[in-house]
Structure 1
Amino acid sequence: MNVFIRVDASIDIGIGHVMRCLALAGRLSKQGNIVSFICREHNGHLCDFIEINGYKVLRLPASQVNFKIPNYTKHSKWLGVPLSVDATQTKKLLRKGFVDLLIVDHYAINEVWEGSLREISNKILVIDDLADRKHDCDFLIDQNYFEDYPSRYHSLVPPHCKTFLGPSYVLLRDEFYDQWSEQKIRSGYVKRILIFFGGIDQTNETGKALATFLKMGRSDIQVDVVVGRSNFYNTELTSICKQYDFLHFYCQVNNIAELMCQADLSIGAGGTTTLERCFLSLPSIVWSVADNQVEICKTLGRKKIIKYLGEKETLEQTFLTQQLENLIGNEVERNEMSRLSYLLMKDNIVNQQTMIKEIVRLDE
């Protein structure tokens, strides 16, 4: 089966969409399917990284024209070109071969784009979080945890569309499944903390969390600080970590699941990484760094699965320090967060297998 994935990364978009698509690509490749990516060369793209992971990338050029981009969606400008231009360019790349399955993970793409690709695609799968636009697709995955997640797409997808909704369908890379047997319900003292705010972290939330920890004077706790290669503050953070033997700095790791398993507590952003931590039963202090993370974090916070501190713009240093100190000292709360995380994600492995079987049965 020939599978193509239309997804982008950039300074504005971040890397999360590509990372979850790589997870799905891995699942499909193991079934013997040929998977390729279609990505635009935005500033901060991950085309080279995708190729290093073993996949062919068909590249759309970075926009050289100051297009006036119609607002089909709230995130239309993320395409860099008008929707119709992106669709035409994508079709041109795909004319060379038939597409059995086209996967789309992009907040700027809607039913208009998807419908125009129908002529060369047997089936279309959409990955979404927002439920803010209609889709012309045969499958839809929304792995996030909302109060109303079972009914979010009732009026947004065709009647025949098969939906896979909720955190039990979260797209995880192989490294997380490899660590599943190592995950545990956390108890005891906090001996190791993981700080990770994604691959780019434009506002240096990593530095904020690190400064808070250092003010506590807890040299008895080891801290792993992880950033991506596109992080603007790499030099500054490296310099800070070198000053303390209990701080360990990592850039662009391929073993984040292992680091999560080793940790007793995590500090990080919302989004897919939150569900990755839940999969490994890791208690987490979280604040949202993007609009699409807010409602998910609020829901998980209300359920006491994470300790949600609010949006980055409103988070005060004194409040963060207080919450971190309290959670480090509260074993009962950390243990309960770990237990609830496990219950949230315990069906993921089975549901992933079922989902992949449904997706690859293209003859039905």
Structure 2
Amino acid sequence: MKVCIITEGNFNIGYGHITRCTSLYQAFKERGIIPFFIVNGDENDKNTLNVKRKYVFNWLINTNKLFSIINGSEIIVLDSYLAALSLYKKISKVVKIPVFIDDNLRLEYPPGVVVNFSISAKKIRYPNKENISYLLGPKYSLVRNEFWNVQNKTLSDEIKTIMITFGGSDMNNLTPQILEMLNTFFPNLEKKVIIGMGFKNIYNIEAVLDKNCELIYFPSAEGMKKVMMESDIAITAGGTTIYELAIVGTPAISVAVADNQLNNVKTFSELGINYFAGWWQNKNLFENIKKFILSLKNKERRKKMVISGQKHIKSDGSRRIIEYVLNKSNSKSSFE
């Protein structure tokens, strides 16, 4: 069976799409299927994308090459903020099982499977169409296989270690600003700072280090999980990492750095899974972070957040999606 995954990722838009599509790649691979992985990306993707059959090129422009690669596919997954509706329609017509990853009803999708694993997905009024199947909500969470089976984490009595993670590029240069705030108001905290492959502000970060700060360069998914396990709390962007933190059991303070994250982080906060400090440009952002760190010193409050997160977020979402699309593929029905 031929399967293709089409997505995008670079410094300007971040690498979150690649991360969540990697989880689908892993779930297909677990079933003995090695997908073609097609990325509109940059040199970082060429060097770090740990998949076979990978293609890195601008498939938005070079559509002839794209359709040459995907020709004959049984299943195609498309995860994009940039692709036009016309491309979705064209893909929907040439494959039996098209799968579209969505966050906020970006388009009026053509026939296929629409996946939105965000915790706020069911608040969105998706159109009811006979030729579209919807897989909605965090039971379809796209987390990497390193997070599919996580051992129970013991909560410490005090906050001693804090993780700081802003994706693969930290486009808004938040890491050094947050480090400065922590150095001033929480100088005794041990800080574990994730440096992504696309960071262009490493010099700024290194300039504000203190003796309690550890920089962790370009960690793998297993490395990310290790840091989460070792950290009492985290300050994070509002992407897929908040799902991984919830699965591990690390209470988090989230910052929305992209429009599509806002509903997500607000719902996480409403359900008591983490604290939402605000949009990255919010003038009260750092005051909110300080306030929430002080609040999280209460162990019982952290415990409630962990329980809520592990109640709502499921780690086997990729497997559920692959099970569904493979069953659909094996059936006689299609989305025509």
TM-score w.r.t. length of structure 1: 0.83
- Match 1:103 to one of 61, 73, 77: 77
Count of equivalent residues: 328
CA-to-aligned-CA distance 1:334-360 (integer Å, 9 cap, x gap):
221112111112x443x5443321111
- Match 2:320 to one of 354, 358, 362: 354
Q: After the TM superposition, which residues 1-364 of structure 1 pair with which residues of structure 2 at under 5 Å, given as runs?
A: 1-42=1-42, 46-50=45-49, 53-61=50-58, 85=61, 87-95=63-71, 98-146=72-120, 149-150=121-122, 152=124, 154-155=126-127, 158-178=129-149, 180-184=150-154, 186-219=155-188, 221-241=189-209, 243-244=210-211, 246-254=212-220, 255-316=223-284, 319-320=287-288, 322-345=290-313, 347-349=314-316, 352-361=318-327, 362-364=329-331
Q: Shift of the alpha carbon at 1:23?
A: 1.0
Q: Within 2, Cα distance between the matches of 1:336 and 1:108?
A: 38
The SS at the match of 2:9 is coil
Q: Report the identity percentage.
A: 20
Q: Within 1, Cα distance between the matches of 2:103 and 2:213?
A: 34
Q: Shift of the alpha carbon at 1:198?
A: 0.6
- The answer to which of 286-295 and 105-114 deviates more is 105-114
Pair 1:142–1:195, CA change in 2 (3 A): same
Q: Shift of the alpha carbon at 1:110?
A: 4.8
Pair 1:181–1:4, CA change in 2 (3 A): same
Q: Within 2, Cα distance between the matches of 1:55 and 1:153?
A: 37
Q: Within 1, Cα distance between the matches of 2:298 and 2:18?
A: 36
**1:74: which partner in 2?**
none
Q: Within 2, Cα distance between the matches of 1:166 and 1:303?
A: 14
Flag the structure with more relative contact order, 1 or 2, with Cα contacts below 8 A and sequence separation at least 6: 2
Q: Shift of the alpha carbon at 1:181?
A: 1.6
**1:68: which partner in 2?**
none
Instruction: Mark the runs of 5 or more structure 2 residues left unpaired by the alignment.
Output: 332-336
Q: Shift of the alpha carbon at 1:145?
A: 1.3
RMSD: 2.3
CA-to-aligned-CA distance 1:175-228 (integer Å, 9 cap, x gap):
1124x12435x3511121111011101121111221111012432x32110020
CA-to-aligned-CA distance 1:231-250 (integer Å, 9 cap, x gap):
11112323433x41x21101
Q: Within 1, Cα distance between the matches of 2:291 and 2:123?
A: 34
Q: Within 2, Cα distance between the matches of 1:120 and 1:15?
A: 27
Preserved CA contact (<8 Å) 2:45 2:56:
no
CA-to-aligned-CA distance 1:70-97 (integer Å, 9 cap, x gap):
xxxxxxxxx8x5xxx55444213334xx
Q: Within 1, Cα distance between the matches of 2:36 and 2:161?
A: 38
Preserved CA contact (<8 Å) 1:126 1:140:
yes
Pair 1:354–1:15, CA change in 2 (3 A): closer
Q: Shift of the alpha carbon at 1:277?
A: 0.9
Please tell me the residue identity of whatever aligns with 1:20. R
Pair 1:238–1:175, CA change in 2 (3 A): farther
Instruction: Mark the runs of 5 or more structure 1 residues left unpaired by the alignment.
Output: 62-78
**2:334: which partner in 1?**
none
